[in-house]
Amino acid sequence: MVTAPQPTTSAVQDDPSQPVLVFEDVSIGFEGKKVLDNISFKVSPGETRILLGPAGSGKSVLLKLANGLMRPDSGTITVFGEEINTMPEEQLFQLRGRIGMVFQEGALFDSLTVRDNVAYRLIEQKVPEEEVTRRVLEALRFVELEQTVDKFPSQLSGGMRRRVAIARAIVNRPDLILYDSPTGGLDPITSTTIVELVMKQRDVYHTSSLLVTHRLQDAFMLATHTFDRGENHMVPIPNDGLDPKTNFLMLHDGHLVFDGSTHDLVHSDDPFIKEYLS
Amino acid sequence: MPFEKIESIAKKLLLSVQDYAILTGRAIGNIFQRPRYIADLIVQADSIGIGSVPIVLLTGFFTGGVLALQSASSLAQFGATAITGELVSLSMIKELGPVLTSLMVSGRNASGMASELGSMMVTEQIDAMRALGTDPVKKLVTPRLYATVFMLFFLTILSDTVGTLGGAVISVFMLGQDGSQYFHTAYQTLRYPDIIQGLVKPIVFGFIIASVGCYYGMTTRGGTQGVGRSTTQAVVVSSVLIIAIDLVISQFMIGVFGR
């Protein structure tokens, strides 16, 4: 059976009723053009938020704001109860220890092996060598890439690189995972593998996550399927059911045009949402 | 409006200077804070210093040689070929050694730093590093800065030595001068201010090479085209700065030491 890093539940233990991530009236612009305008939403513990929107609508910027990689022009962003928009970078480095992030193209360090990429954070934290090896293998086993441990990113396919990026994001057992278009540019079969990994993290380890995508099929697969631990793959939720912990956000021209459940999304009367979903 | 354009250019320039100052300030200060990336510093010292030895040796040797050749033909008009060694050693140690070594190292390493860090920027590896809780300035810029300053100092000494030797080879084997006279005049003419001047320069130039290379790398935008642009700018700006600052240091040193 596939084992995986056990997530810490410190966020939940902090205060189970407190949201993991809160955006309040967040705005940011570049060269005079507003990219995000008064964005407000919350991610609850154990919840998976899928952020939809056309290309260039500011989805990746929003994700970088959530991790403190960018600072908003106005509004407040709270992660695990701590306001991060004015937090010094040194403190942010500490906070990011509880956040895993999967970048659009994986963003693996091309001069390091898969092992060193996945172990990067653990090595920086001076975790003992044996513990590093054990946890790296555990994370790689989770994404079923144990055999690539000594390879370099350039020797892997696009899909394998994304899976290594997921292993790197989960190796320190984060309380929140940010996925930036994890299936972007991949073929349907590989995309399904990635979606299954996201689902496994959601259903087996109940990690809160914010996932950016513009692929509706991936988003709805996450909403309509669940991970079966016995079978070790995803299965549809019986009776056309929907995952209650998976909710949607939709961006359009820098504005949040939808914040709600899968059911509300598919029954929305908003002309843009209708057109986007059609 | 033309005025608005000038204002926007001035603001951009000012912002760039501010960003450069912040980056270099943080890079210098990071050496006093944990974690210190000593292994990265050694790797960079090896890559920048040891990797540059062949080009520095070649440049130094041929510069010293050509200097001897040119000086000797001019000095022959006054019957003063005996001071060829003096001219070569003074020129090499005070000016050509530091400047040419820095220009060669700049061409090799400022471009290398800008392209390496630039590629990491456009492929989001720098963001990934920050997301993984590592300060990229501490991990990438600080080791390069200190390694360049440290290694350029010794590369310049190497260049000065090889340049003087190159001058000797040309003087003895091509111009038929006396070797011991060459080395005697080359040594006797040197004073401490000359040595100090020759050794202060590589410290400043090393700082320019690494800080400019890293600054352009860390501010790269716009994919592979952006990486190419950053690389070119890093070499051009660091080379021009080296020559301009050389004038300032020379003037200052002459003012202080009188030679």
CATH number at A101 reads: 3.40.50.300
User: What Rg value do the Cα atoms of chain B yield, rounded?
Assistant: 21
Residue A76 has pLDDT above 60, yes or no: yes
The answer to whether the Cβ–Cβ distance between B130 and A96 falls below 8 Å is yes
Number of compact structural domains in chain A: 1
Mean pLDDT of all residues belonging to chain A: 89
The pLDDT value recorded for residue B81 is: 82
A129 inside domain: no
Q: How far is B135 from chain A (nearest CA, A)?
A: 8
The answer to whether the Cβ–Cβ distance between B131 and A110 falls below 8 Å is no
Percent of chain A clearing pLDDT 90 (strictly above): 60
pLDDT band at B1 (very low <50, low <70, confident <90, very high): low
Predicted confidence (pLDDT) per residue in A145-197, tens digit? 999 999 999 999 988 999 999 999 999 889 999 999 998 888 888 889 889 99
Residue in chain A closest to B120 (alpha carbons) equals A109
Residues B92 and B64: beta-carbon distance below 8 Å: yes
Where is pLDDT greater, at B150 or A9?
A: B150
Residue A129 has pLDDT above 90, yes or no: yes
The pLDDT value recorded for residue A241 is: 87
Residue B241 has pLDDT above 80, yes or no: yes
From the list A89, A105, A121, the residue facing B124 with the nearest CB is: A105
- The ranges assigned to domains in chain B are 36-257
pLDDT band at B34 (very low <50, low <70, confident <90, very high): confident
The pairing of strands A21-30 and A74-79 is antiparallel
pLDDT band at A8 (very low <50, low <70, confident <90, very high): very low
The answer to whether the Cβ–Cβ distance between A69 and B130 falls below 8 Å is yes
- Name the residue range of residue A241's domain: 10-112+176-277
Cα B188 to the center of its chain, rounded Å: 28
Residue B4 has pLDDT above 80, yes or no: no
Please tell me if residue A15 touches chain B, with a CB cutoff of 8 Å. no
Q: Give buried/exposed letters for B102-130 (b at 16+ CB in 10 A, else e).
A: bbbbbbbbbbbbbbbbbbbbbbbbbbbbb
Sign of CA dihedral B241, B246, B252, B256: positive
DSSP one-letter code for A2: -
Q: Give dist(CA A39, CA A25) in Å, integer.
A: 5
pLDDT band at A104 (very low <50, low <70, confident <90, very high): confident
Burial of A272 (0-12, 13-18, 19+ CB in 10 A): middle
Q: Give buried/exposed letters for A1-24 (b at 16+ CB in 10 A, else e).
A: eeebbebebebbeeeeeebbbbbb
Judging contacts by C-beta atoms under 8 Å, the chain A residues touching residue B131 are 67, 69, 96, 99, 101, 103
Q: Give dist(CA B166, CA A52) in Å, integer.
A: 68
The pLDDT value recorded for residue B254 is: 92
Mean pLDDT of all residues belonging to chain B: 93
Residue A15 has pLDDT above 70, yes or no: no
Per the DSSP assignment, residues forming a β-bridge with A101 are A178
Q: How many CB pairs under 8 A join A and B?
A: 49
A214 inside domain: yes
**The whole model's pTM is what?**
0.87
Q: Give dist(CA B12, CA B22) in Å, integer.
A: 15
* Token pair of A16 as six digits: 């189970």
A143 inside domain: no
Where is pLDDT greater, at A112 or B258?
A: A112
A69 inside domain: yes
Side-chain half-sphere CA neighbours of B172 within 13 A: 12
